[in-house]
Amino acid sequence: MAIGRSTPSSSQTPDAGAARRPSRARGIPEATVARLPLYLRALTALSERSVPTVSSEELAAAAGVNSAKLRKDFSYLGSYGTRGVGYDVEYLVYQISRELGLTQDWPVVIVGIGNLGHALANYGGFASRGFRVAALLDADPAVVGSTAAGLPVRHMDELEDIVTAQQVSIGVITTPPGAAQQVCDRLVEAGVTSILNFAPTVLTVPDGVDVRKVDLSIELQILAFHEQRKAGDEPGAGDSVLDRAPGPVRAAAAKLRRAAGGTAKAEQAKGKTAQGTEGDLSAVMPA
């Protein structure tokens, strides 16, 4: 994939100094940064089809955003396109890749080589996007020494040496939740400043360390919410909905029902007592 042009127009000549200026210094909002990979993916597909230019409407549709937002995002990069022509695809690929830091090699370590760790190690999209899997690490003796994607799985005892020798700044955690924080602490102490966390737990990190969390169960739960709405099964619609719920959900619902029933009985008994007391008082009080 080409990331530059041999003969860029004068208005689009790459600025070498700009490549060294961080996004935050240039005031690019985090929401815009989050959308840049979407634009890059769409542009890369266009580049592979040798499409020279693209309109903001076409690119916005391919990226799943509206065209006004796309134009605003690109204005932060200093790219405004050409009226009647659109955006130069190859130059935008270069510009966004530079902004995201993808014009250099980023060594990555993956910690926790279970099923997910194996899948990530074998993912072919890392190399084409500027990331190199430098090492695979695990603490399980049964896993250490095996290979994944042609790389040997090394023991966690080597973590600090690997991070230093390979100048790793990005770590990927795919361990069980109970081990994730300890692994995170060791990565940070070794010098890793960015972490992609697949473990279903919240990590605590010091200032200056960035964490991105990927929780597939949360994404599925959000989809379940939308599916429930589409089917017309509103919460509280009856036992027919709960009957299809997982065991823990049914148990929690039953507990809530018991608690609500106990509260109602207590309130009812309280009301009767108060009513009886009032009746007794009215009988002895003078008219």
Q: Is 115 annotated as a binding residue?
A: yes
| 81: CB partners within 8 A, 6+ apart | 56, 71, 74, 87
Q: Is 124 annotated as a binding residue?
A: no
| 76: CB partners within 8 A, 6+ apart | 26, 27, 28, 29, 32
Q: Any idea how long the chain is?
A: 287
Looking only at the bridges linking them, the beta strands covering 194-197 and 170-173 are parallel
Phi and psi dihedrals of 281, rounded to 5?
A: -65, -40
Which residues are bridge partners to 135 per DSSP? 109
- 227: number of Cβ within 10 Å: 11
3-state secondary structure 207-260: CCCEEEECCHHHHHHHHHHHHHHHHCCCCCCCHHHHCCCCHHHHHHHHHHHHHH
Q: Is 113 annotated as a binding residue?
A: yes
Q: Is 222 annotated as a binding residue?
A: no
The binding site for NAD(+) consists of 112-117
Bind-site residues: 112-117
